[in-house]
Structure 1
């Protein structure tokens, strides 16, 4: 009995020491965790105080100087240059919007304007021509706005093209006119001055066109640019001579199918450096344009007007094109 009691007492002592050991270990862990947290908090607090103490502090005099410096820099800004840059950006954005119009839409605009102009008499003045074009622009703009407002367009592409056309007709009309080659000259009153001494005759130099002679039926007119609807696009239609260009016009008129537009105007660029035009294209030597107009009208002849050269600084003094109106 004595042995069993001793074993029971020993087991009780062992259990008591295990609990104490566990409590001691947990207490030590808690103390260590609190110490680590205190150390971290102290380091953050010290660092924030150090950054605050190291921050640059300016005196009132230094602040006044900095404000004065900012005012001087603001006054030295190239305001006029910034305005010019802003204006150029706006013009470029307008040109981009016009260039986004599909070529078919531009061609349709050009054809509709030509149809309106065909109804005019050959002696119609410039003001009347300008009024006809402006009337067409207003009608076309109203028509396009109504088509957008009616929401009858199922195609997103068609809606986007109509929006671009509205913008071109409303705010980018000048860029669109130049793009399609529409230019209405200012009305100029020409006065002839004969201030040459009596008995002195003007000697006219006969200009020779390169290539073979041009036949009489071509009705060649030097330094002349006729307008009209394009039957053959000159940018992709080069000819070696003015005679060849005229012959191409005659051939097209002979071979045209019934109801097809027949060429009755040819326009050729004989200049080796290219020929000037108010549109956006670079017209090169040997370009041959085949055109049609019910009442052929001259765009330019002889010398470009001073008013035109003022608005187009790159224009030469004399019209470089050679043209002719043929009978079909």
Structure 2
């Protein structure tokens, strides 16, 4: 009986020892598989960690004589292919354009308006019956006089300019006179004979053009596709009206309320086009601009269509005059 019990105990120990050994092997295999999976995942998500290490910064890379010759040849070919003269010409042109833009921006809008009003006053004293040559002579005489008196107080008092504004105006009169004329919108046209050819068949009714806004008063004497000349009473760049009727009314109100000695508006010029209106000056004249002008004897700048010689000289000019105008009391 005792021997049987001993055998059973011994058999149980061997079984237990074998079971423990099998479990350990299984656990070891699972851990190995888990480590392998983790390594694979790491290699997929961070391949740079397995990349070969870069050489030390202090390490000197040795090139062969042939490789060095190739590099030198490549540098020589690239330098010979560079358009050196073109690059220098572009740099000079950019510098020149930057200087011109700077000179244009130096004169403020208020100073340009003062110059315009002073020149317009001289043209007004000349009279509307003067020739274009006489008008050019007056403008050039004004320029010469301002250049001579640029350092005196008389020049400053006539335009009410500060010393800095006087210096800037003198520089513009010397180097950018034509640009200044364009900036202030002063343009004296050449005398061109324009003949209107009417090819419309007889008895064909005129197509009535519709103007947006309320109807205009008869005293406005509105004329489509017309631009009248005159001394500016109100600068149109900063004076916009909702309609041509409002622009005409603004002219009537200004003439009614003008103080003694002030110019009284008798010409209104309006831009009815949503795309803006062309003008030979440098400004972008936008929709609803309303210019109030004065002239004892109003003269036409443009009527109906721009002439072919004018459009040849101004490629951006349209065929039809976009402005509409009216002479009060005409």
**TM-score normalised over the length of structure 2:** 0.66
Give the distance between the partners of 2:223 and 2:310, measured in 1 at CA.
Answer: 21
- Cα separation, 1, equivalents of 2:197 and 2:301: 24
SS of corresponding position for 2:149: helix
Distance in 2 between the 1:161 and 1:238 partners? Answer: 28
Change (3 A) 1:260 1:309: same
CA deviation after TM superposition for structure 1 residue 182, in Å: 0.7
Which one of 132, 141, 147 corresponds to residue 138 of structure 2?
A: 132
RMSD, matched Cα: 3.7
Q: Deviation of residue 313 (structure 1)?
A: 3.3
Note the C-alpha offset of 1:296. 2.5
Offset of residue 326 of structure 1: 0.7
Q: CA deviation at 1:207?
A: 1.6
Measure how far apart 1:112 and its partner are: 1.7
Alignment of 1:178-257 (within 5 A): 178-191=182-195, 200=202, 204-257=206-259
CA contact (8 A) 1:266 1:288 kept: yes
Report the 3-state secondary structure (helix = DSSP H, G, I; strand = E; otherwise coil) of the residue aligned with 1:323.
strand
Quote how far apart the aligned CAs of 1:270 are.
Answer: 0.9
Q: 1:72 to 1:323 in 2, by over 3 A?
A: same
CA contact (8 A) 2:248 2:268 kept: yes
Deviation at 1:88, TM superposition (A): 5.4
Deviation per residue, 1:215-238 (Å, 9 max, x gap): 221111111122333323333433
Q: Trace 1:1-328 onto structure 2 (pairs within 5 A).
A: 69=77, 72-73=80-81, 76-77=83-84, 79=86, 83=89, 86-87=92-93, 89-144=95-150, 146-147=151-152, 158-191=162-195, 200=202, 204-327=206-329
**1:21-57 Cα shifts (integer Å, max 9, x gaps):** xxxxxxxxxxxxxxxxxxxxxxxxxxxxxxxxx9x99
CA distance in 2, matches of 1:255, 1:122: 25
Which range moved further: 83-92 or 161-170?
A: 83-92
Provide the aligned length of Structure 1 versus Structure 2: 263
Q: Which runs of 5+ in 2 are unaligned?
A: 1-61
CA distance in 2, matches of 1:133, 1:65: 63
Shift of 1:69: 4.9
Distance 1:203 1:122 in 2: 36
**What is the CA distance between 1:311 and its match in structure 2?**
4.4
Is there any run of 5+ residues in structure 1 with no aligned partner, and where? 1-53
The SS at the match of 2:209 is coil
Q: 1:261: Cα distance to partner?
A: 2.4
User: Compared with structure 1, are the counterparts of its residues 242 and 181 closer, same or farther at alpha carbon in structure 2 (3 Å cutoff)?
Assistant: same
Q: Deviations over 1:143-183 (max 9, x none)?
A: 11x439x9x99xxx933322211111111011111111111
What does residue 14 of structure 1 align with? none
